Amino acid sequence: MSAPPLFHLTRGEAPILVSLPHSGTYVPPDIAERMTPAALALPDTDWHVPRLYEFLDKLRASRIEATHSRYVVDLNRPPDDAALYPGQKKTGLVPLDTFAGEPLYRVGQEPSDNEIPPRRTFWQPYHDTLAAELARLKAIHGSVILWDAHSIASVVPSLFEGRLPDFSLGTFAGKSCDADIAAQVLAVAQHLPFSAELNGRFKGGYITRHYGNPKKGVQAIQLEMAQLIYMDEDPPFTFRPERAGKVSTAIKSLVKGALDAL
């Protein structure tokens, strides 16, 4: 199998860019051959999330979707690998273990310090393109929504106690998005048949924090979803259409709520 492009970009004309940095599943062979069986199952992938956002074409929304696994390099972590949540288990730029604590690499096959800079060659093009697309949309509209789309297992003991909310909205504790826009999206969420919180256990990763700048016209919101509401959380991570349809409709209402408040 030949390597896919690092990402796919779809340009729209609406004032919104949806980023999907963790839905990729491709691992280059020279990396995959060093990984453990547990890692090759790619358990921390944002499985099937692009399918939940298929409504974006009708909204004329732009989207950028990664193809490579977050185990190659994590596009939602800072390039200097600084911790996003001090005091919590760190999930790094080049991860070494799964969220469950299982090693990604066989003994003696872990990436060396010299391997980290080359891995950034997978990271930089996504961010260059994301920034350019935000600039294009800002030039058209003056302001834009950056929506960072994610999902995670509903229970992750190494990171959090208990079950996560169905929808976790993050705006970097109010720094990446104006309060009235965040409040509008949360109000929509609270009328949905799903549990929701704002700036609780998830406040937004690097993408939300770095690009969100309301004073400069970028309103950044992260949506983290509990995977149980639309799929099986154990391998082979089966998509469940009977659940997913309601989830996709709910996400669409959240996105439209953000656009209406812009």
- Give the span between the Cα atoms of 69 and 53, in whole angstroms: 19
Helix, strand and coil percent figures for the chain, each rounded to 5: 35, 20, 45
Q: What is the pTM of this model?
A: 0.95
Convert the pLDDT of each residue in 149-200 to its tens digit: 999 999 998 888 899 999 999 999 999 999 999 999 999 999 999 999 999 9
Burial of 260 (0-12, 13-18, 19+ CB in 10 A): exposed
Q: Are the C-beta atoms of 222 and 150 separated by less than 8 Å?
A: yes
Q: What percent of the chain has pLDDT over 90?
A: 91
CATH topology of domain 7-261: Aminopeptidase (3.40.630)
Identify the pLDDT of residue 1.
63
Burial of 217 (0-12, 13-18, 19+ CB in 10 A): middle
Q: Are the C-beta atoms of 82 and 108 separated by less than 8 Å?
A: no
Convert the pLDDT of each residue in 132-153 to its tens digit: 999 999 999 999 999 999 999 9
Q: Are the C-beta atoms of 166 and 226 separated by less than 8 Å?
A: yes
- Taking 80 as the threshold, does the pLDDT of residue 64 lie above it? yes
